[in-house]
Structure 1
Amino acid sequence: MTGRELDAAGIHDPGLRAAYTHCRGLNARHGRTYFLATRLLPVDRRPAVHALYGFARWADDIVDDLESGATSGERARALLALEAQLDAGLRQGGTTEPVILALAHTAGRYGIDHRHFTEFLSSMRSDLTVGGYASYEELGRYMHGSAAVIGLQMLPVLGTVVPREEAAPHAAALGVAFQLTNFLRDVGEDLDRGRLYLPADLLTAYGVDRRRFEWSRRTGARDSRITDVLRAAAAHNRAVYRQALPGLAMLSPVSRPCIRTAFVLYSGILDAIEADGYAVVHRRAVVSRGRRATVAFDGLVRAVAYRVVHRSAGASWGGSAETGRDARYRPPRAVRPVEEGAA
């Protein structure tokens, strides 16, 4: 992490600076789209985003790393150890672990509800024992902890121009939209981990089941019914993006280019999946470097313009400091997953 970012954020303690630098490294290595969008935030807010990402990445790696050879029991114990570290950092201030040190500092500075972290870990634990979901409603309960709370964690850092509770449902929906995109992009890899995040009732509606997906992954063969399932899931995902969209205008102006860029890049993954013929069971679809660069440049132009205008006008960048109520994600009512055109 550049000293400029840390200095702008008022982080001068050497231990904290090292902790935030560690989190930034995790973001840069593993979160290409996320890291690119983060670069569009004002420098003083970037360290907090890196801390939030670092914590989520740590937990996710415990659950998903296929190369470590760790058993489910070992991963469960690792998550419990992480939760103990989290408790020590948030409640007692007694940790030297860099990710938790940076996270606790960020949570205190921005007043982030500690429940968002514990609910996240609860969903991560379920990944050790739950390999599928019956419906979008059931999946939505899982995604509240695994994705919606990420949006709610970010909201105080981004700032709002409306009371935070008004923006919270849209922030939660955006977290869910991003995760649904990840689920589609990573269908094949998740099957290798023994998971499928496409609801069983969606598969049934198109005359397939989980075993058919596993067969397709194993043999490399295609099935038009699987393509239909993936197309319907993408339509549902796009509807959640539409649910999240009004929240962009509720953010602090200097944060909008960052989140807009993430919005465009992540939703663009759906375009890449469609362009690749919904072949995600066999290979991951990616947004081209050229496309990422174009969107990032547009975001940079918008970010600079906002900063120039707000500096000249003497406006505050802080956004609203009001606290908001928790917002649980609900799948859009207009979406009927068994019907492709519903979204």
Structure 2
Amino acid sequence: MADADRGYRLAESLTRAAGRTYFLASRLLPVDGRRAVFALYGYARTVDDVVDGAGGSQPRSARLDALENGLAAALAGAPVPAGLSRDEADMLAALAESVDRFAIPAETFEAFGRSMRMDLPGDPLFRNRYATLDALAEYTYGSAAVIGLQLLPILGAAPDPDTARGAALLGEAFQLTNFLRDVGEDLNRNRIYLPLDHLGAFGVDEQELRHDATAGTAGPRMRRATAHLIAVNRDQYRRTLPAIASLPRRSRPAICAAARSYSAILTAIEDRGHDVFAARAVVPVHRRLGHAVTAVAGRPALG
């Protein structure tokens, strides 16, 4: 039988190692909420690693099917089917327990799975270029917006359409920040998430992206495109502020801290002259700790 308690511990270790901003922000939540965040992150990280081809001898599509079927079984209270490791079965049990405890909408996991299949070569949904920001939003709804929606009941937020829209937008803002930080890494996987029309407006095409990546430094056109997309991203964060302010006082600091730390990645990119190819932009631990302290003190999420 799957062990949910062990699953929470495994998910916590995974979050600590791979999701440092989420891990630090989660420490500001009550224990039950914290464990649920770990369970959500553990599942998302595991699926994302499968799609990126990390570990396992099975085809990626079969591994993804097994995880999705395992989650469906766990949510239904049925035994986890064969084909999953003990660690995966235990983390799925933890996630199912959290979904039940906080009434997290099960359909959000379907949307998440759809977007993960958009990253999977050979899948009918596969896509690795996005012509416009609206086209990208189809992907980021499942990969990021639904994560915000999953967190709302954990945060104790009252059902409210404006808060839900803000939570979804914050997830998308985090995702666009990731895309700006990881342009080179994504290009190595033959993925371009930044919308091609926004890049093209500054004269950047795929050939130029690859040239800059090979050179290890962004050219003038790419730097201008990056500055523009950072402005778009900052506007996303700005529009989430009313929703963050509406969160319960007990859980609001966690989201404030995460928003500050993620938006600080944009500042790190700016500080190196908008060069997204020279090195990966990071926010030092001491600054993330400072964001947590600031959030607990009741300061706004940004600024």
**TM-score, length of structure 1 as denominator length:** 0.79
- Determine which of 62, 69, 72 is the counterpart of 1:77: 62
Residue 96 of structure 2: aligned partner: 104
Unaligned stretches of 5+ in structure 2? 81-85, 121-125
Which structure has more relative contact order (CA 8 Å, sep 6+)? It is 1
Letter aligned with residue 50 of structure 1: F
Per-residue displacement from partner, 1:168-214 (whole Å, max 9, x unpaired)?
00000010011111111111111111111111111211112012101
Residue 48 of structure 1: aligned partner: 36
**Is the alpha carbon distance of 1:222 and 1:280 closer, same or farther for their aligned partners in structure 2, counting shifts above 3 Å?**
closer
- Determine which of 234, 237, 241 is the counterpart of 2:237: 241
Per-residue displacement from partner, 1:237-289 (whole Å, max 9, x unpaired)?
11111121111121111000110000111011111110111121232111123
Residue 154 of structure 2: aligned partner: 157
Letter aligned with residue 189 of structure 1: E
Unaligned stretches of 5+ in structure 1? 1-12, 304-343
- 1:6-21 superposed matches below 5 A: 15-21=3-9
* Larger gyration radius, structure 1 or structure 2: 1
User: CA separation in 1, counterparts of 2:56 and 2:135?
Assistant: 29
- 1:1-343 superposed matches below 5 A: 15-65=3-53, 68=55, 74-95=59-80, 97-128=89-120, 129-160=126-157, 162-302=158-298
Letter aligned with residue 64 of structure 1: D
Letter aligned with residue 69 of structure 2: A
Give the SS at the match of 1:132.
coil
1:167: how far off?
1.1
1:99: how far off?
1.5
The alignment of Structure 1 onto Structure 2 pairs a total of residues equal to 287
Give the SS at the match of 2:152.
helix
Per-residue displacement from partner, 1:80-107 (whole Å, max 9, x unpaired)?
1111111111134322701211111111
Contact 1:188 1:282 survives alignment (8 Å) = no
Contact 1:249 1:256 survives alignment (8 Å) = yes
Residue 335 of structure 1: aligned partner: none
117-126 vs 77-86, greater mean Cα deviation? 77-86
User: CA separation in 1, counterparts of 2:189 and 2:161?
Assistant: 37
Give the SS at the match of 1:280.
coil
Give the SS at the match of 1:285.
coil
Letter aligned with residue 213 of structure 1: L
**TM-score, length of structure 2 as denominator length:** 0.89
User: CA separation in 2, counterparts of 1:78 and 1:93?
Assistant: 19
User: CA separation in 1, counterparts of 2:134 and 2:95?
Assistant: 31
Residue 83 of structure 2: aligned partner: none
Per-residue displacement from partner, 1:301-331 (whole Å, max 9, x unpaired)?
459xxxxxxxxxxxxxxxxxxxxxxxxxxxx
Runs of 4+ in 1 over 4 A off after TM superposition: 67-70, 300-303
Contact 2:15 2:41 survives alignment (8 Å) = yes
**Is the alpha carbon distance of 1:249 and 1:286 closer, same or farther for their aligned partners in structure 2, counting shifts above 3 Å?**
same
1:166: how far off?
3.4
Letter aligned with residue 270 of structure 1: L
Cα-Cα RMSD: 2.0
